[in-house]
A and B are shown apart, each in its own frame.
Chain A
Amino acid sequence: MSETQVTTQETQYQEINDLLSKSKHYKEGFVTTTAVETFEKGINEAVVRAISAKKNEPEWMLEFRLKAFNHWKNMEEPHWAKAEYTPLDYQDYSYYSAPECGSCAGSCETDQEQVIDPEVAKAFAALGVPIDDSDANVAVDAIFDSISVSTTKREELAKLGIIFCSFSEAVQDYPELVQKYIGTVVPYHDNYFAALNSAVASDGTFVYVPEGVRCPIDLSTYFRINEAKTGQFERTILIAEKGSYVSYLEGCSAPVRDTYQLHAAVVEVIVHEDAEVKYSTVQNWYPGDEDCEGGILNFVTKRGICEGKNSKLSWTQAETGSAITWKYPSCVLKGDNSIGEFYSVALTNRRQQADTGTKMIHLGRNTRSTIISKGLSAGKSDNTYRGLVKIAPTAEGARNFTQCDSMLIGDQCGAHTFPYIEVENATAQVEHEATTSRIGEDQLFYCQQRGISEQDAISMIVNGFCKEVFSELPLEFAQEAEELLAISLEGSVG
């Protein structure tokens, strides 16, 4: 390539980057002002006990928390991901924050009729999350900082035997189920952030679909971090009994803040024989300012086990937010013929850093997994795919197909791929394909020469790149994801 071309390309990319960064507006960045009860900053055994007491938890739950806390104290914060951040000061965060319910001074916790703080209700309305039992064709669990404020459509679901409630309620109302499954897929000692979560778990969602039931509507959780300097540590458990089916979606956002906020969630999914779970995420946590100061640190452990024969678990994620994302939704394929899928779009812009991917652990015979990962890097961001495909000696006839595509938008961003493949059974077939491309000046000019504006051209090219993944998202979510990408790529031309 001649020097001339290089120079021209640089100016072109500069322009594209300007386009991208200019008016990225984060419309979910508003702050809700309401009376809140927030714990003093800091973490110690007393705090863990206080959280448990606040939630009126049974002894076994407190024990689980304390075990995890004691383990966590001796662990070291991991820094192996391809993302740079200064070690966090865990004493500078508050580990519990909840809107106060002035009218009944907390006694309503046991009431069936929940009273929702009007300011909180307003916040969810502004976010487009239906928290009343409207005609929306989706059941919603709305989580505000540390607690769940509303769960809709519960009665309708209860008729089918489906349990859809907050994690805290499940601990009270279905202790035997929670106790049976908590920590079975992600043990408290699994990793640093999982241990922290196990110690100070705030709220999350609990889903149980009984044998043979096909959940007729999508179940969804919306996570909102509002308070500054607060960590959100949700714990979600999803159980699909034999022959059942459920599609679960989660969305998230947070106000614009100037210090990092911590989000360390744990999700455990258990899929029994012949059951199928689709788990979709559209992640739009606040990414921070131009330098990604103040954004969300999204350190999440998501893992599911295909426990029974012919079971299927499918993770789909569209990641556009957060300053740093550290997340590997994984499948343990234990049942024979079970299927694991991972479809991901991760967009990073400005100085965002994403290190995300999946783990497919093949244990059962004829287990199959598919990984389709699309990474988009713009600005000065770094986007990393990190994935493990492990075929155990027992996994006779296992198959995996992996495709990792990266697209670079500009010349100051990075795309990295770290595939780890461990095969211990000679009958396995593992395929890995990877491509890296650039939105080229040539592509843009070609579109423009046909009358298409630069802006439309970028979003057309990007959506085309992501198509295989978006087609896996539930319809409304797919649209939201496309819009999110469009906003993240928005600029002002002319």
Chain B
Amino acid sequence: MLLKVENLQAQIDEKQILKGLNIEVNPGEVHAIMGPNGSGKSTFASVLAGREDYEVTEGSVEFDGEDLLEMDPEERARKGLFLAFQYPVEIPGVSNKLFMQTAVNAVREEKGLPALDMFDFDEYAREKIELLDMRADLLERSVNVGFSGGEKKRNDIFQMALLEPKLCILDETDSGLDIDALRVVANGVNALRSEERSFIVVTHYQRLLDYIKPDHVHVLYNGKIIKSGGFELANELEQNGYDDIIQQYQGE
């Protein structure tokens, strides 16, 4: 098993957000986490990535056989956990190339691989650009500076391709994207799917899932997963909304 989350409880500034979340992810699986606003979707993604604003009060997270909660954010990243941000951050003056070369080499060091020099990295990056059908000037620009919303998300997918993580978490990557950008992001994800790589796709809408076709769909509500199923659950949600499921859950 790649990821095992048990009874995860987390709070921010003494406000309890996650209230006993359980999920298991095997290598190669794609899981979608859906839920209404404020259900704790982004909090879950942030807690997995190690954002310090959140305090884990209870539960455990095992990642590839190790205690994830004990690790610094950069350690988690180096061990293969990747988060595509809901709002990718701008870093003026730092080229995507330098940024990603530094990141790729940090991950390679962790794996015991030699660092890539400028030329090796350039070659490696161009392969990925081709794979994802992205624009070649992506490397020369400052990290996300002057990028449109869609470009920022694509850049995150590009970074994901470069780092070759074991677990990719997409935190509402589809928010604010038009249909073309959505397709590019989805194609990127599909191109990166493999038997070793797992995905957790956090989303509000079914749109993205139509392209990605997850193996499992979970409904998160009030800090807990209240229903799990296959791809058909996403269709059901799209048609009936969250209310039915929530009422069902509250009735139990």
Contact = CB atoms under 8 A, between A and B. Distances in A.
Interface of A: 3-5, 7-8, 12, 437, 440, 442-443, 445-454, 456, 460-461, 463-468, 494
A45 B175 CA distance: 76
Contacts of A7: 13
Contact of B72 (A456, A460, A461, A494): A494
Given A448-B73, A449-B77, A451-B163, A464 B93 contact: yes
A450 B159 contact: yes
A461 B49 CA distance: 21
Residue of B52, B74, B102 with most chain A CB atoms under a 10 A cut-off: B74
Interface residues of B, number: 35
A184 B92 CA distance: 42
Contacts of B78: 451
A452 B102 contact: yes
Contacts of B98: 460
Contacts of A443: 89-91
Nearest to A465: B93
A304 B103 CA distance: 45
Contact of B103 (A12, A442, A450): A450
A5 B13 CA distance: 9
A453 B106 contact: yes
Contact of A452 (B50, B74, B110): B74
Nearest to B52: A12
In order of increasing CB-CB distance, the 7 nearest A-B pairs are A464-B93, A464-B94, A450-B103, A4-B13, A451-B106, A451-B77, A446-B89
Contacts of A12: 52
Contact of A456 (B77, B83, B92, B102): B102
Residue of B50, B72, B77, B94 with most chain A CB atoms under a 10 A cut-off: B94
Given A8-B13, A460-B99, A449 B91 contact: no
Given A460-B98, A464-B142, A451 B89 contact: no
B73 A445 contact: yes
Contacts of A3: 13
Nearest to B53: A8
Contacts of A461: 91, 93-94
Residue of A5, A7, A452, A456 with most chain B CB atoms under a 10 A cut-off: A452
Interface string B102-117: 1100110010000000
Given A4-B13, A463-B93, A448 B77 contact: yes
